Structure 1
Amino acid sequence: MKIITINSKGGVGKSTTSMQIIAPFLYQLNGKQKVKFAELDDENQDSTTFSGSDLIEAQQIQITGTDLDSKLLDLIIDNDNIIIDVGGNKTTTFVIESLSNTGIINALDLIVIPLGDGEQDASNAIKLYNWIRELNNDIKIIFALSRIDPSMDLEMQFFDFFGDKQGRIDDRPGLIDKINLADQNIIKVRNSDIIKYSRAFGITAYELSEIDIIEVKEKMKQALTKKEKKDDPRIKKLAYRQTVLNKAADYRQTVLEPAFEVLRTLV
């Protein structure tokens, strides 16, 4: 499975979507074997944060001064299971042009287009979608709605993308209406502290959710039963760890598993 995550707009959650959603999904699909994770970006090397992850074999690739055609050709042809996380701005243009020039776009299985709730985010996502469809009409595409606020109505938060279907303001159509019905595939990536915590641990939220919380709870129980518990430094550490693991379990249930279910329908 060859998957690329891309949007010319910066700050739309490309790296989070690639590492926290697509990487564990492809890892599961690959029989829980490591998958290649290539980060094409001159400015951001986010994958280095996850040096402790057992899901991926990461590679950071500079765009400037690189024979991009050859590099992409080698990456996509030589790896059966790969995620390519593409930087924004001109990097997106260079990569799409290279995929087009070499024809290697036809070897991709899925293109993931993340977007935030801003007007420019949605506009850039649709422009990219149309560009991809001009090059290849068969490749699977999915949109990842990033930084979802669970306290808000989803269609109101992503007003420019969905439009005013409820007639609350001005009945305007959404940019999603410009997408072929078969391509209106969406995964929802909500805000969560677990993203920050996973970066601190150097592994993904998925991997944190795999840690046995029962053992942590048992250690906490033992620490609390000791007479000298007031001065036991383990208690705060265990409490923090238990909080993180609970958040990871919740994230897996409410974000990862629903996203995996949608992704499975496309592969």
Structure 2
Amino acid sequence: MPTAGVEFAKVSYTPAGGQFILRDISISLAAGSTTALLGRSGSGKTTLLRTVNGLVRPTSGGVTVNGQSVSAIRSAADLVALRRGIGYVIQETGLFPHMSIERNAGLGLELAGRSSEDRRARAREVIEQVGLDFEGLHERLPWQLSGGQRQRVGFARALALDPAVLLMDEPFGALDPLTRGEMQTMLKGLLERMGKTVLLVTHDLDEALFLADRVVILSKGGVVADLLSGDVARSQNPHVKDYVSAVHRMVGR
């Protein structure tokens, strides 16, 4: 049986002076699996995602990544080491506008002190893995690429250090439907080949079912559904049924 790549144990989070955002969440993500987090805006999806790389510290409970307790990390050096093992992809890519595509893709390697030769070789590898032409694009700046190309570079950068865990927060939310579909197909192929432990935040049920092995739905900071993707359509869980109905309300018209 696969070991847990990421485990949430009774995780709760309440910001200082505020109301709770997460409440008593316990989920174990098997190594090499892809899990989609769905739910309304404000349900706690992104906050839960950010507890994995230490951007959010739970008020109670704990998170472990490949057996290492995130909550126990105290030094900046240990936190940097943790984050180097976790790829992070966001909706707007976060590429540095003054840096070339090659340098953006290899930035993590640069910060880790890798040689220029290693950085260039690895940047070429990951840029080509995400379906881009290295020779044609590596010297360009982000503004010279399409939205889909920029997002591919964002994925390349997240993969450059070969992380065991990949966090994705609405990575395709800003893309048009056709580009989004192309990106989903590209990503599915990558994930099948690489065997990363993936946590994907999305509002798109079809995207979740296409990419993920498992779907977890949050509501008001808690887990209200946790099931295999293949069980979603026939689930009698009212939260799942409401989600399916809302997303597919035009089917049959």
Q: TM-score range by the shorter chain?
A: 0.3 to 0.5
Judging by fraction of residues, say which structure has more strand: 2
Using structure 2 for the length normalisation, give the TM-score: 0.33
Using structure 1 for the length normalisation, give the TM-score: 0.32
Bigger radius of gyration, 1 or 2? 1
Judging by fraction of residues, say which structure has more helix: 1
More RCO (CA 8 Å, sep 6+): 2
